[in-house]
């Protein structure tokens, strides 16, 4: 279908007059009439019918006018999008990261974002996944990395990776430790409702193990610090070992029977479409998360 002919038809339909539309388009009336006739011939049905004071739409013409307006709007949107792509995006994007993720990738995220979008700015908020989820829903964040979020239709989530949990200690450990054997170790764990603690509790609940939990703290950073001081052992994501704070070596053992894995997702509010800044953050986060958190 010729878009120019469609545009001419729309002009006549909206003016309800060939003469008025011809004047607005700076065309002769016979030329305009001929173009509409060619469109009608292509569609095989009349779109306009003349009367004493001008023209009126046929039923097919009414339907075609609605289609034409939709097509015209889509063309205008495409032109605007292409024009925007010629320019560096402006504005601000708000990113939320859990502490473990933030400690590993924040400098790279900020640097790469500013290289990709030099006329924009980025705010990085660090908090527990449960709070980041609340901030997304409250419009305080545009995008966030979350550990094991509960489902809601208000968020769009994209899986990034699933990471195994490991037992860590300042003392030598076997290569693997069954979940049932964790009763033999004094444990320092994140406190509820941290996502890590929730999936750990779910994994051991059925076995009703008499675990010896000697301390519960809010952050993985504090968990690692206490393990480094020989307060106890802990069960943490494998990537947490990269942020080990102690000068003495850390020993790890794979947790098995069952293997416990967390779930890391990229989340955005479902009610807000992705703009260019959010898309840029997505493109930066995915390879960095794969690099640092692959299972």
Q: Say yes or no to pLDDT of 294 above 70.
A: no
> In a 3-state reduction of DSSP, which class is residue 234?
strand
Tokens coding 57: 């739409």
Residue 193's CB: how many other CB atoms inside 10 A?
A: 11
Answer yes or no: pTM beyond 0.85. no
Residue 195 pairs in a beta bridge with: none
Q: Which helix (H) or strand (E) covers residue 267, if one does?
A: strand 261-269
* Residue 91 to residue 151: CA distance in whole angstroms: 30
Tell me what pLDDT residue 87 has: 67
CA-wise closest residue to 101 among 294, 267, 293? 293
Q: What is the CA radius of gyration of the chain?
A: 31
* C-alpha separations of 263 from 148, 237, 267, 272 in Å: 5, 10, 12, 24
Report helix, strand or coil for 22.
helix
Q: DSSP string covering 123-187, please?
A: EEEE--HHHHHHHHHTTS-SEEEEESPPP-TTEEEEEEEEEEEEEEESS---SEEEGGGGGGSEE
CATH of domain 164-261: 3.40.190.290
Q: How many CB atoms lie within 10 A of CB 270?
A: 14
Dump pLDDT digits (tens) for 247-259: 889 999 999 999 9
- Whether 91-160+263-293 and 3-85 are alike in CATH topology: the answer is no
Place of tokens 């200690």: 169
Q: What is the mean pLDDT of residues 146-159?
A: 90
Helix, strand or coil, per DSSP, at residue 92: strand
pLDDT at 74: 86
Spatial distance between the Cα atoms of 243 and 229, rounded to a whole number of angstroms: 15
CATH level 3 topology of 91-160+263-293: D-Maltodextrin-Binding Protein; domain 2 (3.40.190)
The answer to whether residue 83 scores a pLDDT higher than 80 is no
CATH number of the domain at 3-85, out of 1.10.630.10, 3.30.565.10, 1.10.357.10, 1.10.10.10? Answer: 1.10.10.10
Each domain of the chain, given as residue ranges in start order, spans 3-85, 91-160+263-293, 164-261
Percent of the chain exceeding pLDDT 90 equals 65
Q: Are 6 and 39 in contact (CB under 8 A)?
A: yes
């Amino acid at each position: 279908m010729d878009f120019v002919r469609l545009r001419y038809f729309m002009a006549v339909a909206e003016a309800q007059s060939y003469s008025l539309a011809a004047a607005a388009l700076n065309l002769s009336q016979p030329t305009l009439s001929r173009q509409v006739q060619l469109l009608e011939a292509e569609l095989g049905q009349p779109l306009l019918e003349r009367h004493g004071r001008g023209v009126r739409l046929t039923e097919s013409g009414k339907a075609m006018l609605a289609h034409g307006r939709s097509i015209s709007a889509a063309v205008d949107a495409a032109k605007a999008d292409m024009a925007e792509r010629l320019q560096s995006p402006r504005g601000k994007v708000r990113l939320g990261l859990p502490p473990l993720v933030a400690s590993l990738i924040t400098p790279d995220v900020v640097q790469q974002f500013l290289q990709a979008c030099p006329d924009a700015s980025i705010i990085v908020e660090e908090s527990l996944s449960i709070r980041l989820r609340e901030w997304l829903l409250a419009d305080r964040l545009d995008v966030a990395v979350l550990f094991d979020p509960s489902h809601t239709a208000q968020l769009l989530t994209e899986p990034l990776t699933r990471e195994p949990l490991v037992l860590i200690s300042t003392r030598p450990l076997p290569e693997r430790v069954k979940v049932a054997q964790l009763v033999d170790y004094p444990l320092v764990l994140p406190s509820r409702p941290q996502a890590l603690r929730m999936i750990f509790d779910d994994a051991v609940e059925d076995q009703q193990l008499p675990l010896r939990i000697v301390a519960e703290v809010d952050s993985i950073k504090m968990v690692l610090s206490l393990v480094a001081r020989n307060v106890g052992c802990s069960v943490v994501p494998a990537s947490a070992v990269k942020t080990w704070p102690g000068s003495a070596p850390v020993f790890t053992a794979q947790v098995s029977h069952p293997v416990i894995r967390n779930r890391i997702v990229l989340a955005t509010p479902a009610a807000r479409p992705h703009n260019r800044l959010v898309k840029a953050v997505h493109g930066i986060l995915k390879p960095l998360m794969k690099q640092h958190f692959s299972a």
